Amino acid sequence: MKIAVILGTRPEIIKMAPVIKELERKKADFFILHTGQHYSYELDEVFFEQLTLPRPEYNLDVGSGSHGEATGKMLIGIEKTLKEAKPDAVLVEGDTNSILAGALAAAKLGIRVGHVEAGLRSYDRTMPEEINRVLTDHISDYLFAPTPQAREILRGEGIPGEKIFITGNTIVDAVNQNLELSRSKADILDSLGLKPDGYFLVTLHRQENVDSRARFASILEGLKRVAAEFNMPVFYPVHPRSKKMMAEFGLGPGNIVLAEPVDFLAFLQLESRARLILTDSGGVQEEACILKVPCVTLRDNTERPETVAVGANIIAGSKAENIVRAVREMLKRERDWDNPFGDGRAAERVVATLEGKL
Ligand code: UD1
Ligand code: UDP
């Protein structure tokens, strides 16, 4: 049995890391195919180094481009590679263009596809990620649903129950495996002049937020008001898409503290010590919930409704006053919610299930 792990962006590297580690532990025959969607050191290589992952056997180096162009280049490169390497199954994770290209190329070649983190839905088809999720789920053979709710969504779309496996989310595995280690990065706070429980942590990079001047400006205004009202630094490691759009729109940070994206151990440390996290990231919503740090989501919807249901997250949208109100509300809440994303053994289940099927 030979498995191809196809990935291309920061969150896929982080969330696939426990699966790759499990494949290594079991001495499985596998290789990594990197599309090259993310290529900057701080979005890519740093995670391979820090999480001690094997280097990708193939890197397609597709780089950035429009959705169609980038996805098309990936499809061509992935098909060629799969024909050459002849894996029995392909594993993809999440909702990016890279995973849609990987799943589609494999499915057309009759290679079985396993989708890790299947069954998430924002029900917002204007998001590129929603299109990627829906299409990938519907061409996958093994759907690894993180929660019972995700399984029900898939069943509701007519996907047979025998294809769906509830595994938990591999982000719990990744947090458990790295939180201890991240404590060795405790000095990251000192070096940034931040005090435990004395700052807000922000990430913001979604196309729908940062590619619209009005929406991006309104969210930044909300963040500036939060910094002023609570008299605490708002620390924002900026994704390159957001950096580019801030420059293009001429948007200034005001009292928000901007930084380059940081490595995973440093980011876990920053998350776990934050007073509250504001984000539009999927993975960061989950991590905040797991780490019991209150979260305010800077979007109109979420495909992680479990975080809201347990009381760990509020969906604030993009209006400045709603962002401030959501922060006030979340700061009042007890941090006593349960983690809905599993026991940290998702990767084990994914690999065992796949082995049992091939
Ligand atoms: C992609 C995913 C998004 C995911 C995010 C994780 C899609 C449709 N979007 O968004 O779901 O949340 O990754 O971070 O797949 N850039 C760099 N260096 C890089 C990569 C990108 O500078 O290594 C810049 C380029 O200017 C590029 C822009 O970021 O044009 C956007 O990159 P792209 O990969 O298209 O989308 P992301 O916003 O990263
Ligand atoms: N992350 C990181 N450094 C940063 C910001 C985020 O290591 O400066 C990690 C974070 O811990 C999470 C992942 O990146 O595991 C989330 O990726 P991203 O927000 O890019 O994508 P999304 O989850 O929205 O798809």
Q: Which residue type sits at 224?
A: K
Confidence category of residue 183, pLDDT binned at 50, 70, 90: confident
CATH annotation of 2-169+342-357: 3.40.50.2000
Q: Is 175 exposed, middle or buried (0-12, 13-18, 19+ CB in 10 A)?
A: buried
Confidence category of residue 185, pLDDT binned at 50, 70, 90: confident
> How far apart are the CA of 41 and the centre of ligand 2, in A?
14
Q: In what order do the strands lie in the sheet with 142-145?
A: 58-59, 29-34, 2-7, 89-93, 112-116, 142-145, 164-166
Nearest CA to ligand 1 atom 34: 37
Which is nearest to 12 in space by CA: 53, 61, 71, 63? 53
Q: Is the dihedral of CA 305, 311, 313, 315 positive or negative?
A: positive
Q: Where in the chain are all domains bearing CATH 3.40.50.2000?
A: 2-169+342-357, 188-332
- Both structure tokens of 118: 């299947």
- DSSP 8-state symbol, 55: P
Please state, as a whole number, how many other Cβ atoms lie within 10 Å of the Cβ of residue 40.
14
> How far apart are the CA of 12 and the centre of ligand 2, in A?
9
| pLDDT (mean) for 152-175 | 98
**Ligand 1 atom index nearest CA of 207:** 38
Q: Kindly tell me if the per-residue pLDDT of 170 is higher than 80.
A: yes
Chosen CATH of 188-332 out of 3.40.50.720, 3.40.50.2000, 3.40.50.11930, 3.90.1640.10: 3.40.50.2000
Q: In what order do the strands lie in the sheet with 256-259?
A: 256-259, 234-237, 200-203, 276-279, 295-297, 313-315
Show the ligand 1 pocket: residues with CB < 6 angstroms: 9-11, 37-40, 43-44, 64, 95-97, 128-129, 205, 239-241, 244
Between CA 111 and CA 354 the distance in angstroms is: 13
Q: Is the dihedral of CA 137, 143, 146, 150 positive or negative?
A: positive
Which is nearest to 13 in space by CA: 57, 48, 49, 64? 48
Nearest CA to ligand 2 atom 15: 283
Chain segment 88-137, per-residue pLDDT in tens: 999 999 999 999 999 999 999 999 999 999 999 999 999 999 999 999 99
User: Would you say the CB of residue 282 lies under 6 angstroms from ligand 2?
Assistant: yes
Say which residue, 181 or 137, is predicted with more confidence.
137
What phi and psi values does residue 169 have, to the nearest 5 degrees? -100, 135
Confidence category of residue 358, pLDDT binned at 50, 70, 90: confident
Q: Kindly tell me if the per-residue pLDDT of 40 is higher than 90.
A: yes
Which is nearest to 120 in space by CA: 288, 348, 341? 341
Between CA 301 and CA 282 the distance in angstroms is: 11
Chain segment 214-231, per-residue pLDDT in tens: 999 999 999 999 999 999
Confidence category of residue 344, pLDDT binned at 50, 70, 90: very high
The answer to whether the beta carbons of residues 249 and 217 sit under 8 Å apart is yes
Nearest CA to ligand 2 atom 13: 11
Chain segment 272-329, per-residue pLDDT in tens: 999 999 999 999 999 999 999 999 999 999 999 999 999 999 999 999 999 999 999 9
The answer to whether the beta carbons of residues 340 and 289 sit under 8 Å apart is yes
pTM of the full structure? 0.98
Nearest CA to ligand 2 atom 8: 261
| pLDDT (mean) for 321-347 | 98
Is residue 239 part of the annotated active site? The answer reads no
Helix, strand, coil fractions of the chain, as percent rounded to 5: 50, 15, 35
